[in-house]
Structure 1
């Protein structure tokens, strides 16, 4: 039963991604980038933050520990799925470790709304990890809303850097 559910979940995710890529005219807005345009393989948003080493085994080395989101969205962007896949593989090879996903938003909007949006973002990443085989009991999703801004300011670049989920290993 569980394998059927996983298979259905993977198929649903694949069909959803395929449907997202078939729109001939996208109404997406142009994004400003805080640190230059992302690498050629990314389509939108901020380039992934890549950590060069993890000396205390705080997750996979040479993999970003942050996933970014578009404005008012909790959908994981296709270009960030590889980051989540790397974390899922690391968690599977390190069964004694667990993870807290910290959902964040930019400064716009009310406190309650942003707490809910941050939670939805963390839950979206958690769901992707579960689909990839990570036990749900090892992953906690929390929201900080707009309380932990990494960049002050009202520019689109500042807002983009704040719309994120951070991976914190325990």
Structure 2
């Protein structure tokens, strides 16, 4: 009987982690030809809930806080990390600063910070590392004036690799935080 208790607790914990962190699905990227001030309605019939929300958000994109200087940095939506690290690199500060400026100028903007790892390590360790990476980006943005209610940190661990390879080049691509605008993304046209 005690053996069952000891086996059930880790299984229950893993189940809770999986349903709490991995149940969030990223919105599909959809582009539309509408502009924020157009009176055109966007037909979202037949799209999934996430895709419909993303389509509506793109139709409501904002140019406020977008400058010629920060446009290229706002287009970058991925921050990469070194092996077994949640430390931001110097090259990512300008990207995150541009996103911080945009988010401060657009209080209705919301962004999901989705942490990922490479395939090495246990699932539990990688879920925690992905969360530390997402929280590291979140901390930087909050320190630079972004309201915490505009940010959501989520970890996918090693469950959603960008590159399915099993070498250093693939692992380097997979160690990342994706910045996914869920409401009022930057208008970069």
Residue 139 and residue 151 in structure 1: after superposition, are their counterparts in 2 closer, same or farther (change >3 A)? same
What is residue 114 of structure 1 aligned with on the other side?
126
Please tell me whether the aligned partners of residues 58 and 168 of structure 1 are also in contact (alpha carbons under 8 angstroms).
no
| 5+ residue gaps, structure 2 | 1-30, 34-57, 183-189
The CA RMSD over aligned residues, in Å, is 2.0
Show the 5 A alignment for 1:78-93.
Answer: 78-93=90-105
1:151 equivalent in alignment to 2:151: no
Residue 134 and residue 162 in structure 1: after superposition, are their counterparts in 2 closer, same or farther (change >3 A)? same
Please tell me whether the aligned partners of residues 103 and 142 of structure 1 are also in contact (alpha carbons under 8 angstroms).
yes
Please tell me whether the aligned partners of residues 68 and 165 of structure 1 are also in contact (alpha carbons under 8 angstroms).
yes
Q: Distance in 1 between matches of 2:121 and 2:176?
A: 16
Deviation at residue 58 of structure 1 after TM alignment = 8.3
Q: Distance in 1 between matches of 2:107 and 2:177?
A: 22
Residue 70 and residue 95 in structure 1: after superposition, are their counterparts in 2 closer, same or farther (change >3 A)? same
What is residue 132 of structure 1 aligned with on the other side?
144
Q: How far does the alpha carbon of each residue in 1:118-159 deviate from its partner, in whole angstroms, 9 at most, with x for none?
A: 000000000000110001111010000000000011111100
Larger Rg: 2
What is residue 112 of structure 2 aligned with on the other side?
100
Number of equivalent positions = 118
Show the 5 A alignment for 1:52-67.
Answer: 56=58, 57=61, 61-62=71-72, 63-67=75-79
TM-score (norm 2): 0.59
Q: Which has the higher helix share?
A: 2
TM-score (norm 1): 0.65
Runs of 4+ off more than 6 Å = none
Q: How far does the alpha carbon of each residue in 1:14-54 deviate from its partner, in whole angstroms, 9 at most, with x for none?
A: xxxxxxxxxxxxxxxxxxxxxxxxxxxxxxxxxxxxxxx99
SS in 1 for 2:180: strand
